[in-house]
């Protein structure tokens, strides 16, 4: 008996076009199909919205990813880029990581 595989999340709202373009670029092995400016704008908006929703909920942060869809390397690459972009260091990160 094999374990059931969770279906991939399929956004139907405003993010659907970007997700489709990103998945197509990855499937083609051509990440350059999505421009740097588009990726930066989407990541910035997504991070801001995630933070606002988490703060508004005043609870445990919202689920971010389906674990089967991201590798640990992909998570660390993105997290590191955000940490560097914000000018944070490991001490800053440790303070926020402990935040309840």
Q: What is the pLDDT of residues 19-55, one digit of tens each?
A: 999 999 999 999 999 999 999 999 999 889 888 888 8
pLDDT confidence of residue 15: 87
Domain interval for residue 92: 65-100
Cα separation, 76 vs 82, in Å, equals 10
Same domain, 17 and 45: yes
Same domain, 22 and 40: yes
Is 28 domain-assigned?
A: yes
Is 1 domain-assigned?
A: no
The model's pTM: 0.73
Percent of the chain predicted with pLDDT > 90 = 38
Number of domains the chain contains: 2
Same domain, 33 and 46: yes
Same domain, 69 and 100: yes
pLDDT confidence of residue 66: 67
Tokens of 5: 């595989």
pLDDT confidence of residue 34: 97
Tokens of 96: 């926020």
Same domain, 41 and 79: no
pLDDT at 7 over 60: no
Cα separation, 39 vs 45, in Å, equals 10
């Amino acid at each position: 008996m094999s374990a059931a595989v969770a279906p991939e999340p399929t956004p139907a709202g405003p993010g659907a076009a970007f997700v489709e373009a990103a998945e197509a670029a990855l499937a083609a092995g051509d990440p350059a199909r999505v421009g740097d400016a588009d990726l930066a704008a989407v990541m910035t908006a997504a991070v801001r919205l995630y933070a606002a929703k988490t703060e508004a909920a005043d609870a445990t942060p919202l689920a971010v990813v389906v674990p089967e869809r991201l590798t640990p390397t992909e998570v660390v690459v993105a997290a590191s880029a955000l940490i560097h972009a914000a000018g944070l260091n490991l001490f800053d990160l440790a303070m926020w990581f402990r935040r309840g």
